[in-house]
Structure formats: C-alpha cells, structure tokens
A and B are shown apart, each in its own frame.
Chain A
C-alpha cells in the first residue's frame, strides 16, 4: 500500500499530536502511518443489533448450517470468501472488494462483561464507553473535548453527526457537534435581511444557566449557525460518484463533501438500518446489508477519487449481535458479542479473534457468543493509534490495543 501524504507518516516527537498543525517543521518519523489531526473517524451504528454470524460467516464450520437451519446462508462458489473458513454475507460485495484491497479488518467477539440484552442499555454502554453508565457524555464527545482542549475557533467543526438521531456518543462537555440532515439543502436558517439578523440575535443570546432546555436550544442553534458556511460550501461540491438515493447513502455523500471541505473534522457519527431481525430475517438482513454496502461502496470510491482514503477510517458497530440459534419466526433474538468491522486504507487487513462457535458448551447465557475482546480495547486503539488522542483521558483507563491498524 502506498502512503500518499508524507505529513501523515510523521508525528511530532514528544508533543501531543494536536500540536502538529501548528508546528509542522518539527515532525520526525515515527512509523509507517502515524496518528494525528489529518485522521478522521466515521462511525456507523448498525441499529437494532446486527446478526454478525450471518455478516461474517464461518461457512466451513459444519455446525453453522445445522445450527442456523433455515437462516443459514447457502455455501456457494460465488460466496464472497475471506479465506478458507470465513465469508461475507452475499450482499457485501463492495466490502469484499475492499477486503481484497487490504482495507478491511474484522474483530470477532467484541463485547463487555456482564452483558446486557436490552437494546437501550447496550446502546448507552457503547455510546458512553461506560458499562456502569455513570456519565452522560459519549466517548466521541469526550474525545472531541480533548482536541485543542475543546476550544475551537468559530466556524470550525471537529465533530458532527449526520441523520435524524443525535447520537449520544457525541455528547461532549465543551463542544457541540452539530447534527446535520442527510442532505445539505434542508440545513438553512429561515427568513432574510433584518428579520434574519433579529432571528440570529435571538438565537445568539448567552445561556441562562437555569433552564437546561433554553441552553440546549441556544447552544445547538448556535452550532447550526456556525456550521452554515461549511455546510453551504460542502453541499455545493460535486462528485462523479453516483450514490444511491437512500437517506443513509445521501448522508455518506454529504459526509464526503464535508470531509473534503473542512480539514478540521475528526469524527462523523451516523446510523444505518434496522437490524432488529426478530422475524423473517433473511430478507430484512439482506435489505439492510445491501443498503449499507451500496452506500459504503460509493463513499469509499468518492474518498479514493478525492485523495481522502488514507485519512478516513470507518467503524461499523451495533449494540449487540444476535442469538446463535434462530427463533420460530425465522428470526433471531437479542444476542451478545459481535464482530466489529473497520474499513480504510489504514487498517491491517485480517480477522482478529476466533470466529463464532456453534459448540453449545462454549456458548454463554443459554446460547450466546462469548466475549473475546472488550469493546474499549477497540475504542482505545482507534483513539490512540488513529486519531492521535489519549485514550486514557477519554476512557478513564488504559485498555490493551488490538492489531487492527497499520
């Protein structure tokens, strides 16, 4: 793999990576690829609990077809195989092409101790990176708090979300990462002239400190006003890559436009799906994965086209995987440890951990996959080795890294 930008091979010796931009003259060689300000993370939450057993399929395991029954993906020659034992779901053709270009890393068995089978509690744990759920902030928000100490110049975006969900992973103490719509054109301040100036003035009053809703309204309206110029510039950028019409794919298109526009953007959070396949799973899972794959295919092509593929890492996660044994409705109920997927030119291609087991003796909680890695290990790896931030500050403890990045 070639590394196009020398600057990104380098990191400043001894100083925090965030100082890199300010003092470009004192960079020294550290490793083939170094973490730092040029690096961007796009997280995509596959909502509802993705059935990773049918996403990264241990097709050579004879028990797979037996245990999965009607939900087993048929083993065919055309299956997008990763190696002699593992294959991707047949809809993930684009992801398979990226794997063939050494751009995909898969970590099996990601979870946390004392697993929670509730969508909502599991999401809170992954959003906050705090299984005890003692903080209202999100892991990405806390990461942004440490970027330039959270003090950014007016108009500078360091983090944002695209879509209608306002991911709590982005809740920060010092910055307000704006939530943007899937398409740039819905993002405008109404009215014009003196009346719009009055509106801006209404929305720009200082926070009250007494009513948290007033203050959230003012803070995030202000974030919207600040983001307007970047959004307008980004929205005007064209691309020759054709994206599907889904909100998700259009959101990725907008993400690429924003990443091309604003070099300060470090984190983009998005959602896709639903993967809550309690019933008639085969069709619904295929539909969701197809939307995901087609969107990612266009997005990665767009990043390639604009020279950004070295800078962007995509993390696919869900609140849990699904039960190994199907239910009577041709679906699967809530499960536990999942396979998380990293995509980008910076990943170390491969499968980390052991593929899902179908051995009843090794399953936990009456039919669920055991955890192999704490999810905070993956977060720490991304924070330290990709974003060049301090995972101990963000996560409150040191977690051993996983070998997923170059």
Chain B
C-alpha cells in the first residue's frame, strides 16, 4: 500500500493532537515504518517542554490554583513528542486524579511520574500508582489504617485500573484494602511515607493468593492477571484505533503484551501496525474529545498559548463537556456518545468561532489558503481548507451548504482571508471534523 501525506496526518491525529502541516510532511518523508518508529521511540526526539513547568512565568506556579493545569496544557500543545503528550493524556484519564483533589504540588509530581512511565512497563507503572501522593489523597489510601481500612482505592484499582469487574469479589476488595494500609502523605511536606504501625500484618487472601500481602503484592498480582492485559489493550484500542473493537486485533495486542511482560511501548508499536489502524473504513470512528479538538485546531493553525488563552481552553473545553485535568470521577473522562449533549455540541461550534475569528491571525489563516490561484474558485478554496484542516472528504451536505453560502463567483484577493475564515469555521463545525 502507498504511504500518503494523509496517512501521516492520520497517524499524527491519533498518536498526537494533529500537529502542523510541516509536522505532517516531515513524518511523511520518513516512510511508514520510519514514521511509526519516530512516533513510538519518542525519547530520541529532543523536547524541552517537559522541563519547563512554568511557561507563563508565574511568581509561584504552585501557589496559583490553575498554575499546573495551564502549564500542562501548554506542554501538551507544544511537545515535540506527539505520542508522549497523548499517552500522558491517556494515562491521566486512566489512572485518574483531578488536579484539585490533591493540591498542585502532588498533582505536578503525579504528572511527572505518569509521563515517566507512559511507555514503559505496566507493572512498574502500577507499582508507582498505588503509592503516588495525589492518588493516595484522591482515593483515600492516605492514612488508611488496619482498623477499618478504606476500600476506595482497593476497589477502583481492580474495577477501573486493571482487571475490570469479573475476577474479584467483595472479599477481594476488603482483603486488598487491608494489604494497602500503612501509607501516609505527610503534612505540610507532602511526602509519601510508609508507617508500619498502621499496616495490617495479618494474612490476607487476594484473588486466590494467600500471605502477609502488601500493596506491592496486590499490584504484582493485578498486573499479571490476563484480564488486566486484555482490558488495558482493549482500552488502548478504543482510544487510538476505533470504538468498534476488533477482537482479533485486540488479541494481537494482548499477545504482544504477554511477550513483553506488559511493555506499553511494544504494545503501541504493534497497535500502529494493525490493519484497522490504517483501514479507510475504520477512520472516523473515534469521536474527538474536546481537548483533542481544541489542541488539534490550535496546532494546525499554529496558535500560541498564553495564560489567558490556557484558561480559555479550559473554559471552552468545559462548555464542550470536559474539564481538562478535572475528570468527573475515578473512571476518568467521558468519551464518545457521552460527549454529544446538545449544549456540548454548541460549545464545539462556539469554540471553532472563537479560535478562527478571535485567535487566528492573518498569518494563521494564510496557512489554509496559501498557494491558491487568485481570484480563487470557491470549490477549490473549500477543498483546500478542508484538506489542510484534516478532512479529506466532506459530506455532500456540508459541501452543498458551504457552496450555497460562498456562491460561484471566484473570490477576489481582498475577500480571501474573510472567506477562508468562514470556510474554516464551517468545516470545523461539520460532523466530519468531530471524528478522526
């Protein structure tokens, strides 16, 4: 099969937030295998954004209630490693903690930890998760005591983070809770410490294994369960390939997981080679989440982010049904059809209007019409703007609606920027732009 610029754009939308047209061309030049390797082996790409935790120069980024959140939005937008940014966002939605649940310091630490583990060993990741300060605060592991242990994390780590419902019973939840006692987040240092005095040293039986189990044992047992491999691979599939799960392909990912002891990078490399990932019939079966939509449009139009805009990104995303870094519950962000509320969808068109009319400079708009003949035939403008925004085929309805609005007269140079904004706004509001 041929490898087209559209394929490279597709890879960047899924493995990242979409990137610029130059990013697409650069990736295309590498060929398919080279492009996948460049995406997956992202450590080889220099990226300074992650060492800049205070891009807006706040006097004290941790003292500002949204200092960490806004910095993270900047990092996701600016990272030169699309997959690292996307995986950080994915894992933040999986092993999830709202930034407000634990304070800015613990949340910043958690995001650094999650990023470190984002493409490594799932077992090592899980081992970091259960003793992460923000997670201990959010799911009440901190100060859980052998007398009446707290069950919150013990349940959610099974139901949401690893096996899913099925293997465990209520007794397993209670036994895991006993094994997870003893951890404390100190005040005011916010350090995670283990206090043997409050740890339950008794014998526990968890998923059929018996002993004086501790948190490390529980995580090891869960990481090794086949349900964990299957459920995590299926979740990656639904996030990166399609909401229509192909079981044969998920099995291929599970096999890779088993071969590598749960190595996330190996699974991702296999995922980007699945036939369905590239199949034209599978494209368009991911509903772009609000943040994917906003950051994707910003990257493509090369829109910059200052503190005010970062806050506006949070607000626009909220109007679209998703508060960045404030997931609604331990299951993480809502996706797919649960993001299609009437008001949420109006929020999408409002966002498109704001970015294209208020944020995009003439230079940004020129990205969409550069090189077109002057005067510009309307149909050529529509096809070009749509393609440069990432929509290769508009529906007949969208094309007809825009064509009626533009009329058939070629567009003179003085009107081109204005008409381009109109077309971009209408394309970004179309159903075909909401999917990828």
Partner among A191, A213, A223 whose Cβ is within 8 Å of the Cβ of B342: A223
Find out whether the CB atom of A178 lies under 8 angstroms from the CB atom of B140: no
A224: chain B residues within 8 A (beta carbon): 342-343, 345-346
- Please determine whether A328 and B144 come into contact, CB atoms closer than 8 angstroms: yes
Closest B residue, CB atoms, query A178? B342
**A179: nearest chain-B partner, CB-CB:** B341
For the complex, give the distance between the alpha carbons of A203 and B150 in Å.
49
Closest-by-CB residue of B relative to A222 is: B342
> Would you list which residues of chain B between 113 and 170 have a CB under 8 Å from chain A?
139-140, 143-152, 155, 159-160, 165, 170
Alpha-carbon separation in the docked complex, A398 to B10 (Å): 51
Tell me the A306-334 residues at the B interface (CB within 8 Å): 325-329, 331, 333-334
Q: Which residues of A contact B342 (CB under 8 A)?
A: 176, 178-180, 220-221, 223-224, 227
CB-based contact B401/A327 at 8 Å: no
- B408-436 to A contact mask, C-beta < 8 Å, 1/0: 00000000000000100110011110110
- A-chain residues with CB within 8 Å of residue B344 when the two chains form the complex: 164, 166, 179
A179-212 contact mask (Cβ, 8 Å, vs B): 1 or 0? 1110000111111001101110111011010011
Report how far A239 CA is from B74 CA in the complex, Å.
Answer: 43
Stretch at the interface among B41-49, B330-338, B363-371: B330-338
- Closest chain A residue to B433, Cβ basis: A217
Report B-chain residues with C-beta under 8 Å of the C-beta of A203: 349, 429
Residues of B within 8 A of A279 (CB): 140, 150, 152
Q: How far is the CB of B161 from chain A (nearest CB, A)?
A: 13
Output the nearest chain B residue to A194 by Cβ-Cβ distance.
B405
A205 touching B397 in the complex, CB below 8 Å, given contacts A120-B159, A180-B342, A213-B434: yes
Question: In the complex, are the beta carbons of A328 and B149 less than 8 A apart?
Answer: yes
A199-B426, A327-B150, A328-B149 given; A217·B431 CB < 8 A = yes
B328 at the interface (CB under 8 A from A): yes
Determine if B23 is an interface residue (Cβ-Cβ < 8 Å).
no
Which residue among B144, B340, B342, B395 has the maximum number of chain A CB atoms within 10 Å of its CB? B342
Distance of A331 Cα from B343 Cα, bound (Å): 36
Given A117-B155, A211-B284, A366-B170, residue A205 in contact with residue B148 (CB < 8 A): no
Tell me, yes or no, whether A119 is within 8 Å of chain B by CB: yes
Q: Is the CB of B345 within 8 A of A334?
A: no
Instruction: Please give the number of chain B residues whose Cβ is less than 8 angstroms from any Cβ of chain A in the complex.
Output: 64
Closest to B154 in A: A333
**Residues of chain B with a CB closer than 8 A to A274's CB:** 329
Q: How far is the CA of A329 from the CA of B151 in the complex (A)?
A: 10
Q: In whole Å, how far is A125's beta carbon from the nearest beta carbon of chain B? A: 13
Shortest distance from the beta carbon of A193 to any chain B beta carbon, whole Å: 10
Which residues does chain A contribute within 8 Å of B345, judged by CB atoms?
Answer: 217, 220-221, 224
> CB distance B349 to A190 under 8 Å?
yes
B353 at the A interface (CB under 8 A): yes
A208/B337 in contact, CB under 8 A: no
Q: Does chain B have a CB within 8 A of A365?
A: yes
Q: Is B12 an interface residue (CB 8 A)?
A: no
Which residue of chain A has its CB nearest to the CB of B434? A217
| Interfacial chain B residues near A215, Cβ < 8 Å | 431
Total of A-B residue pairs, C-beta within 8 Å: 182
Other-chain residue from A161, A201, A205 in contact with B404 (beta carbon distance below 8 A): A201
- Interface flags for A153-176 (1: CB within 8 Å of B; 0: not) read 000000001001110100000001
Q: Which residues of B contact A181 (CB under 8 A)?
A: 319, 343
Check A331/B346 contact, CB under 8 A, given A117-B155, A206-B397: no
Q: How far is the CA of A350 from the CA of B366 in the complex (A)?
A: 69
Which residues on B sit within 8 Å (CB–CB) of A211?
284-285, 431, 435
CB neighbours (8 Å) of B327 from chain A are none
Is the beta-carbon distance between B429 and A199 smaller than 8 angstroms? yes
Asked if A67 CB lies within 8 Å of chain B CBs, one says: no
Residue B398 contacts which of A205, A216, A278 (CB distance < 8 angstroms)?
A205
A4 interfacial by beta-carbon distance below 8 Å:
no
B318 touches A333 (CB 8 A): no
Check if A213 sits within 8 Å of B435, measured CB to CB: yes
Q: Is B402 an interface residue (CB 8 A)?
A: yes
- Nearest residue in B to A216 (C-beta to C-beta)? B340
B149 touches A212 (CB 8 A): no
Within 8 A of B (CB), among A356-397: 365-366
Chain A residues positioned under 8 Å from B173 (CB to CB): 117
Tell me, yes or no, whether B378 is within 8 Å of chain A by CB.
no
Q: Enumerate chain A residues within 8 angstroms of B92, measured Cβ to Cβ.
A: none
A366–B151 Cα distance when bound, in Å, is: 13
Residues of B340-360 whose CB lies within 8 A of A: 340-347, 349-350, 352-353
Q: Is B321 an interface residue (CB 8 A)?
A: yes
> In the bound complex, what is the Cα–Cα distance between A268 and B140 (angstroms)?
34
B341 touches A198 (CB 8 A): no
A366 to B358, CA, bound (A): 59
Residues in B whose Cβ lies below 8 Å from that of A223: 342
Contact with A along B297-333 (1 / 0, CB 8 A): 0000000000000000000001101000000111100
What A residues does B144 contact at CB under 8 A?
A: 327-329
- Complex CA gap A213/B287 in Å reads 6
| A166 shortest CB reach to chain B, Å | 4
Beyond A213-B336, A278-B140, whether A327 also contacts B151 by CB under 8 A is yes
12 A-B residue pairs with CB within 8 Å:
A119-B329, A164-B321, A166-B338, A181-B343, A191-B353, A203-B429, A205-B398, A221-B349, A326-B148, A328-B145, A328-B149, A366-B170
Ranked 3 nearest A-B pairs via Cβ? A179-B341, A205-B397, A178-B342
What residues of chain B have their CB less than 8 Å away from a CB belonging to chain A? Answer: 139-140, 143-152, 155, 159-160, 165, 170, 173-174, 284-287, 318-319, 321, 328-331, 334, 336-347, 349-350, 352-353, 395, 397-398, 400-402, 404-405, 422, 425-426, 429-432, 434-435
Q: With contacts A202-B426, A276-B329 known, what are 16 further pairs, Cβ within 8 A?
A: A119-B329, A164-B344, A166-B321, A186-B347, A191-B349, A199-B429, A203-B429, A214-B395, A217-B434, A221-B345, A221-B349, A227-B342, A326-B148, A328-B146, A329-B143, A329-B145
